[in-house]
Amino acid sequence: MRVKGSAPKAGASAVALYERIRSRIADGTYRSGQALPKTRYFVLTEYCSNDTVRDAIRLLEKEGLVHKQRRRWVVGPPVPIHPRSVRFDDRPVVLILSTDLGYHSLLFEVNYAQFSAPFINELKSRFIEYRVAFNDWDMPVEAPFPVGREGILSLVNSLGRRYQGTLVMVHATTSPQLPDQLSWLCQFDKPVVWLDPDCKAPQWDRRAVARPNFFRGYSDERRAMDLVIDQLYEAGHRKVGFPLYGPYVDGAYFLRERIERARQCVDEHGYDIEIIVPPVRPEPWDTWVDTTDRDIFQALAGIRSGLSSKHPDLRGARFERLFGRELLSRTPTLSALLSDPKLTAIIAGNEWLAITYYYWLTRAGISIPRDLSIVGFDNYRRFMQHPSATLDLKLDELGYLAAHLFIGDVPIRRDRRGNVAARPEFIDRGAIGPARTGKAGLLARFRK
């Protein structure tokens, strides 16, 4: 009698490699629809054999995490080939629930566009549409979208099996009853993802919404500030300015929270760094639009033109010196910081402010980063062309992860409380350098 032997089991090395690759799929390093690196890559980087890689890939295939496409292994299950486009009325739908029309518009502007672009693109690539609903409607006309629980319930019932879940874009500071609403949305047994990008309410995870289909997506601001302080400390900076920005002081909570996080980070790590926060003073950029870089260049051109008309005989270095003094005289906050001989770096509240400081100071004659280092936050596509140092909050990564919670084709990294965290990354385009040495403050060179 012939006995058919069972297929050999994958060894421990293959299982370990399988788990590492699976983890990279879950955190978006290897993305759905993209080809895995070739076998040789894993052999060289993971110090394993061809057989180990083969067995690990087979384990991933068995779980439906990869599939063979021609001669490459592609992440995710195979996408069905449709001979014609899926009818719009037959497509699955994800609901995007926002506070109101005004807050919803932020999803497509500079602040949240980093999130919404990959989120919507991933859904569209799987023939998944999205619908919009609001908690409130304050317009004196009939709302063209579902409003409130009654409107949401009616929409979900009308969608039936097409309903795939809800992305909730409601800020924690404006809705203290949000956990109740999130629990209510979870009753439909589809994923509910609450977008908390600035980590405003870490307690509102599954401790507050005890449902297995609830997820809280956020960017880890504490990690972002840790990266900033680490970079400055390693570069030798021991006295750092963190200017307040008048229009943000009352309306933008994140500015003071980032200052507080910076001080907490210094204390937790035991760094001998002093964070200087000067008082709020009127600045030229108080009335500028904080989503564009046009105002800074218009202002600089206007000041330069005015000085040229007023002092037609000045040329070359003498004029540049006058121009520099004029610029610094118009910014009392930065001038106060630059007068301190020990201050060697500035943390800006966001990337727009960092860019504004950069161009104002460089045109005044301050060399960045030789004289002063500047770092901000965000890394928005709108500002990537500027030579700034910034913390990428990885909202694009969060958008990808959130989309695949609804698509359900690959595992998504989250903790036991349903938290899906984007991991910020430090990016330096030339604005951070070693701390300068010298006894005089930077303003000394501009004295007449």
Q: Which residue has the tokens 């929270």?
A: 257
Determine the Cα–Cα distance for residues 219 and 428; give it in Å rounded to an integer: 19
Share of the chain above pLDDT 90, in %: 74
* Sign of the dihedral through C-alpha 251, 253, 256, 259: negative
Q: 82: how many CB neighbours lie within 10 A of its CB?
A: 8
CATH dotted code for 12-75 = 1.10.10.10
Confidence (pLDDT) at 448: 56
Mean pLDDT of 42-63: 94
pLDDT band at 285 (very low <50, low <70, confident <90, very high): very high
**Closest residue by Cα to residue 363 from 287, 282, 304, 443:** 304
Residue 361: is its pLDDT beyond 70? yes
pLDDT band at 18 (very low <50, low <70, confident <90, very high): very high
Instruction: Using alpha carbons only, give the angle 419, 421, 426 rounded to the nearest 5 degrees.
Output: 165
Confidence (pLDDT) at 438: 78
Determine the Cα–Cα distance for residues 239 and 228; give it in Å rounded to an integer: 14
Share of the chain above pLDDT 70, in %: 95
Confidence (pLDDT) at 82: 61
In terms of DSSP H, where are the helices of 275-315?
294-310
Confidence (pLDDT) at 132: 96
Greatest CA span in the chain, whole angstroms? 109
Determine the Cα–Cα distance for residues 31 and 75; give it in Å rounded to an integer: 6
Contact at 8 Å (CB) between 345 and 436? no
**Closest residue by Cα to residue 190 from 22, 336, 406, 41:** 406
Contact at 8 Å (CB) between 168 and 174? no
Cα-trace Rg, the chain: 27
* Average pLDDT score, the chain: 91
Q: What is the pLDDT of residues 161-204, one digit of tens each?
A: 999 999 999 988 888 899 999 999 999 999 999 999 878 899 99
Q: What is the pLDDT of residues 292-303, one digit of tens each?
A: 889 999 999 999
Domain map of the chain by residue range? Answer: 12-75, 88-219+396-422, 223-388+429-446
What's 76-99 look like in SS3? CCCCCCCCCCCCHHHCCEEEEEEC
Domain 88-219+396-422, second-level architecture: 3-Layer(aba) Sandwich (3.40)
pLDDT band at 4 (very low <50, low <70, confident <90, very high): very low
Do the domains spanning 12-75 and 223-388+429-446 agree at the CATH topology level? no
What does residue 167 show for φ and ψ, rounded to 5 degrees?
Answer: -95, 125
Determine the Cα–Cα distance for residues 1 and 51; give it in Å rounded to an integer: 31
Mean pLDDT of 15-30: 94
Q: What is the pLDDT of residues 305-339, one digit of tens each?
A: 999 998 888 888 889 999 999 999 999 999 999 99
Confidence (pLDDT) at 24: 95
Q: What is the pLDDT of residues 410-423, one digit of tens each?
A: 999 999 999 999 99
**223-388+429-446: CATH, from 2.60.40.420, 1.10.3720.10, 3.90.1330.10, 3.40.50.2300:** 3.40.50.2300
Mean pLDDT of 205-215: 96
